[in-house]
Structure 1
Amino acid sequence: MSGQRAEISSGERTVTWIQAAETAEAYVEALIAQQVSCLFLNPGTDTFPIQEAVAKRQALGRPVPKVVLCPFEITALAGAHGYYAATGRPQAVLVHVDVGTQNLGSMLHNAQRGRAAVVISAGRAPYTIDREVRGARDSYIHWLQEQMDQHGIVRNYTKWDYELRRPDQVGEVIVRAFQIAASDPPGPVYLTLPREVLMASPGDVRIYRPERFPPARIGAGDPEALHEVARLLVQAERPVVLTGSSGRTRGGFEGLLRLAELLALPVAEWRDRVNFPADHPLYQGYAADALLRSADVVLILDHDVPYIPTRTSVAPEATVVQVDLDPVKERVPLWTFPVDLPVRADTARALDVIAGYAGELLTDADRRRVESRRVELATSYARLRDEWNRSALEQASARPIAPEWLGYCLEQLRRKAPELIFVVEAVTNGATIARQVQVAEFGTWFQSGGSGLGWGIGAAVGIKLAHPDRPVAAVVGDGSFLFGAPVATLWTALTSGAPVLVVICNNACYNATKQPLIAAYPEGYSVRLDRYVGIDLEPAPRYDILAASVGAYGERVEDPAEILPALERGLARVRDGQSAVLDVILAHP
């Protein structure tokens, strides 16, 4: 029997000793010590020792993580990413050797670029054919699944990788994995687990306490640099803030709100999170081109691509400041955005410090200038909001349905259900949807932070697991829905008790490919013949019918007048414990 054996003496507060019959049991114990709530699992012939360990602990009344069975690996990693994004707590993923690792696919890219702390474990083909060793090779595939460098599959994308080599290492290795994953800037890590090691008998095992191995935090940054940022903003005539994911923490969200209100700063965003209330008079939406062309100070916060240099120009005399966990983007091979003052800092800490300095520096003349700018920006916001609303209402009866009208209806749903959390992967319709949906509360909008499609529906399941009392809506393109392994993911939603509302922006094509093709070849054969190779998804699958196969409610929406009623019906199903899929037929681009 495994169980807690003894505490280390008060002189060493680092570990708890347990006695484990098998290393796999200690692995589960170590996850519990790291406060892991969910183990997102896609199993194989190498993961069964851990599955047996979970069953044993359950039978003995000992705590275990919730095992979230995912019939496809991208569901597992997207779900763990979503859970981390919603809570800031790293979760665990377990997949099958090299093939399971490869099936993580572009979700690993999203975890890297989205700075998601996830501990990914994978089996490792058994080493030995010794009959006396438990876990030795006993299947045809064990020769095929051994690679020269299994870790090489993921090494471009992870912060750390390691193979568990000895049974008595397991506690040490797990605490190390979680510490590195969660340290700033956070990201995924990768651990392989040989079957012989998992099935070995380690005897006494150290389980390390996470409070003695906390993640390293960057903090507020250099005080002198932050004071200079405050001085530049106070003296600026035409400042602008560009933000991407400063709202990943409540401190970042509230810090930007405080600073922007203090100095009447216009805020434009790439909405990976709710960075700033979209109903605030200082909010300027996505388009910052005009602001950048005239700006004298540009403050960039947690933004990987603040603008597209081939499309947008920054005023030559502008002073550019970047406050970021990684202000020079060390893991992006070519990143040459001009920045006059890069500050490595956690915006959740830095923004309050900047606001404090700014409050001390403000003169009466500065305050008059700030108030004048506040009035101008409020007028600008009202004009923008009127323009966006008018654009939607003018297309309220358009058939096929206009994306602006879908976004408008989603906003009406949000107003009726302000607790609703949005997970958005609408691709070419993303900015249009975002202009209409006026999310204003921290933690109510999530995007992947990367470009690997298929993340949205899996992440929605993970976020629902993290917030079981709140409804979650995934707004995805039709291509994104297909990439997200919908049968596997909706089945996981069903069996894990995590119902979600899925709204498909169905334009029956890969518009993200079509748009650049037309831009590059406006007189080309594709345009002239209206024949686009490898782009159209016609005839479109019946996604509403697919939903029923995995216990979800499905509805096809073609009438623009039915969008809001359909959204309300779908949300009612989710509140009753059933996922809902709304296939909204948009205009074909």
Structure 2
Amino acid sequence: MAEEVRVGPSAGPRELREVEIAEAYVEALLAHGVSYLFLNPGTDTFPIQEAVAKRRALGQPTVETVLCPFELPALAAAHGYYAVSGRPQAVLVHVDVGTQNLGAMVHNAQRGRAAVLLSAGRAPYTTDPAVRGTRDTYIHWLQEQLDQHGIVRNYVKWDYELRRPDQIGEVIARAFQIAESDPPGPVYLTLPREVLMERVDRVLIPDPSRFPPARLGAGDPDLLRRAAEMLVRAERPLVLAAASGRTRAGWDGLIALAELLALPVVEWRTRANFPADHPLHLGYNYGLEHGLSEADVVLVLDHDVPYIPTRTPLSEQATIIQIDLDPVKERIPLWSFPVDLPIRADTGAALPLLAAAARDLLTESDRRRIAERRDRLAALSNAQRLAWRQQAATYASTRPIALQWLGYCLEEFRRENPDILFIDEAITSQVPLFCQVRTTSFGSWFQSGGSGLGWGIGAAIGAKLATPERLVVGLIGDGSFLFGVPEASLWIAQRAQAPVLLVVLNNACYNATKLPLTAAYPEGYSVRTGQFVGIDLTPTPRFDLLAQAVDAYGERVEEPDQILPALRRAAARVREGQSAVLDVILARP
């Protein structure tokens, strides 16, 4: 049993005596507030598994391990947990092969700015039988790579190998400090087996409060004042938001600023950024934005791709203000969007100061002009929402089910369940769903922030673990559902007691590939013959039957009048503790 001795003036650091380093690793995770270790084990992770078992047996605090039969949903779940809670969790996988199986989820964690500690074993160094943890099976030679870290180095903020046992406390402190510092992101740590199994007389776990993450704060006040002047003078302003709703302060701050200056808001719903039923909500990026080509001042908030220049050109006279944790996108090699006033800041901190500066500048003439704009935009916004709703209602009896009608029913379902939280991996179905399903509260909608498919199921599980009191609903494309290894992921949900409701948008094709093909070759052979190579997902798998194989509730929905009843039946199962999969058969694009 490890003896814990409090040291230091603040009693914050922890000194462990006579302890194995694997147990100190667990202790360090606990010190940094980690609740869950998402684990896919191997021949190199067992010292940590033994440390958890020991602490359980002795009645000591330990992390909750979530056994993941595949690595991809492990990282997706940690990402989903962080997105919902803001608290980083840990993932532990097996050497190089486990790291590779994290796959596109590492891309999502990078682009989605998810602070996660990725830990992986490392092939043992030694062949000395006197050394604990030495090589003792043939794979230990096969799994050693020239640069295991190179698998993920493009995507993580920091990578390191634990080289000495007495480093463990400071290494974990450094990992979390970098992961959580603005802009947050994943970090990667490898753990040689010999080091994990080494027993030492003394290990110090530093006080995490002495290694806090660096925060950007509100940004340069002079630049914020300049931005306020531009927005107050603007005749046709526009706000483009994608992830400013990652914090409550960002959500509230955008509402206050928009209402003060009557700023129309167009969002890409990486997060719920602005109430979708607000009279200043003016649509969605990439096809349904209003006013971009006419805008004279555009305020861009936490947006990696604020518009598609080849689809919706920006006015050459427009002034662009960008407030972002990374306004110039240093990790995107070619990012050529013009920005006249880049402000590196946390939008949650910057927006209240921007509003205060603008308020001080307003004249009576400004207030009258803003009031007129507010009335004009409210009429436009209300008419737009009504038109979307009326259009969807025309599909109430259409079979196969229209995507718009599914969205209509999901909105009715949302109104019945105020505790609902959506995880969105609907891909090409996203914008039609945005138009129907209104996000009216903070923290009600989450995307990955990247483009790696297979995120949604695991992320829903992580979101449920972070907020067990909420009804978590995943909106998952059929292709994304297959990418997400559903049999492994639903098993994780069952074992972790994290039931989720998954709505599979089954249009029987990879529409994300079909759309650019038909756009580039509108009269090509694919269109003329109707034979789309590598796109059709027919015959479609029976996703409802797959769910039943892992003790989840499964139902196939083919009739439009059965969508809402099926959602209610599935929600009842989830609230009773059983995951549910609704396989909704949609009209093919």
Residue 283 of structure 2 aligns with an amino acid whose one-letter code is G
Tell me the equivalent position of 2:526. 526
Whether 2:4 is the aligned partner of 1:8: answer no
Provide the C-alpha distance between the structure 2 equivalents of 1:293 and 1:88, rounded to a whole number of angstroms.
36
Provide the C-alpha distance between the structure 2 equivalents of 1:151 and 1:168, rounded to a whole number of angstroms.
22
Provide the C-alpha distance between the structure 1 equivalents of 2:481 and 2:290, rounded to a whole number of angstroms.
34
Q: 5 Å matches for 1:495-514? A: 495-514=495-514
Whether 2:339 is the aligned partner of 1:339: answer yes
Provide the C-alpha distance between the structure 1 equivalents of 2:466 and 2:341, rounded to a whole number of angstroms.
37
Provide the C-alpha distance between the structure 2 equivalents of 1:323 and 1:346, rounded to a whole number of angstroms.
8
Tell me the equivalent position of 2:275. 277
Residue 402 of structure 2 aligns with an amino acid whose one-letter code is A
Contact 2:6–2:12 (Cα < 8 Å) also in 1: no
Point out the more displaced range, 300-309 or 289-298. Answer: 289-298
**1:536-557 CA distance string (max 9 Å, x none):** 0000000000001111000000
How many angstroms does 1:8 deviate by? 1.9
Tell me the equivalent position of 1:427. 427
Contact 1:400–1:586 (Cα < 8 Å) also in 2: yes
Whether 2:80 is the aligned partner of 1:82: answer yes
Contact 2:283–2:290 (Cα < 8 Å) also in 1: no
**Percentage of matched positions with identical amino acids:** 67
**1:176-225 CA distance string (max 9 Å, x none):** 10010000000000000000000001221001111111100000000000
Q: Which secondary structure does the structure 1 equivalent of 2:199 belong to?
A: coil
Provide the C-alpha distance between the structure 2 equivalents of 1:9 and 1:275, rounded to a whole number of angstroms.
43
Contact 2:282–2:290 (Cα < 8 Å) also in 1: no
Provide the C-alpha distance between the structure 1 equivalents of 2:11 and 2:348, rounded to a whole number of angstroms.
31
How many angstroms does 1:439 deviate by? 1.0
Tell me the equivalent position of 1:209. 207
Contact 2:453–2:483 (Cα < 8 Å) also in 1: yes
Q: Which of residues 164, 167, 186 is equivalent to 1:169?
A: 167
How many angstroms does 1:74 deviate by? 0.7
User: When the two structures are superposed, what TM-score results if normalisation uses the length of structure 1?
Assistant: 0.99
Q: 5 Å matches for 1:478-517? A: 478-517=478-517
Residue 19 of structure 2 aligns with an amino acid whose one-letter code is A
How many angstroms does 1:292 deviate by? 1.2
Provide the C-alpha distance between the structure 1 equivalents of 2:241 and 2:208, rounded to a whole number of angstroms.
32
Q: 5 Å matches for 1:224-239? A: 224-239=222-237
Q: 5 Å matches for 1:268-417? A: 268-286=266-284, 287=287, 289-417=289-417
Gaps of 5+ in 2: none
Provide the C-alpha distance between the structure 1 equivalents of 2:470 and 2:528, rounded to a whole number of angstroms.
49
Provide the C-alpha distance between the structure 2 equivalents of 1:9 and 1:51, rounded to a whole number of angstroms.
30
Runs of 4+ aligned residues of structure 1 deviating over 6 Å after TM superposition are none
How many angstroms does 1:9 deviate by? 3.3
Q: Which of residues 239, 242, 245 is equivalent to 2:240?
A: 242
Provide the C-alpha distance between the structure 1 equivalents of 2:396 and 2:473, rounded to a whole number of angstroms.
22
Q: Which of residues 188, 191, 197 is equivalent to 1:190?
A: 188
**1:385-415 CA distance string (max 9 Å, x none):** 1111011101111111001010111100100
RMSD: 0.9
Provide the C-alpha distance between the structure 2 equivalents of 1:85 and 1:458, rounded to a whole number of angstroms.
12
Tell me the equivalent position of 1:462. 462
**1:239-288 CA distance string (max 9 Å, x none):** 00000100000000000000001111000000011100001000012046
Contact 2:282–2:289 (Cα < 8 Å) also in 1: no
Provide the C-alpha distance between the structure 2 equivalents of 1:68 and 1:185, rounded to a whole number of angstroms.
27
Q: Which secondary structure does the structure 2 equivalent of 1:502 belong to?
A: strand
Q: Which secondary structure does the structure 1 equivalent of 2:281 belong to?
A: coil
Provide the C-alpha distance between the structure 2 equivalents of 1:401 and 1:19, rounded to a whole number of angstroms.
64
Provide the C-alpha distance between the structure 2 equivalents of 1:159 and 1:14, rounded to a whole number of angstroms.
27
How many angstroms does 1:290 deviate by? 4.4
Provide the C-alpha distance between the structure 2 equivalents of 1:3 and 1:551, rounded to a whole number of angstroms.
43
Provide the C-alpha distance between the structure 1 equivalents of 2:243 and 2:283, rounded to a whole number of angstroms.
14
- How many residue pairs get aligned? The number is 587
Q: Which of residues 116, 128, 133 is equivalent to 2:131?
A: 133
**1:26-59 CA distance string (max 9 Å, x none):** 0000000001011000000000000000000011
How many angstroms does 1:3 deviate by? 3.1
Whether 2:589 is the aligned partner of 1:584: answer no
Q: Which secondary structure does the structure 1 equivalent of 2:314 belong to?
A: coil
Tell me the equivalent position of 2:446. 446
Residue 381 of structure 2 aligns with an amino acid whose one-letter code is Y
Provide the C-alpha distance between the structure 2 equivalents of 1:313 and 1:141, rounded to a whole number of angstroms.
55
Q: Which secondary structure does the structure 1 equivalent of 2:299 belong to?
A: strand
Contact 2:266–2:289 (Cα < 8 Å) also in 1: no
Residue 133 of structure 1 aligns with an amino acid whose one-letter code is V
Provide the C-alpha distance between the structure 1 equivalents of 2:419 and 2:71, rounded to a whole number of angstroms.
29
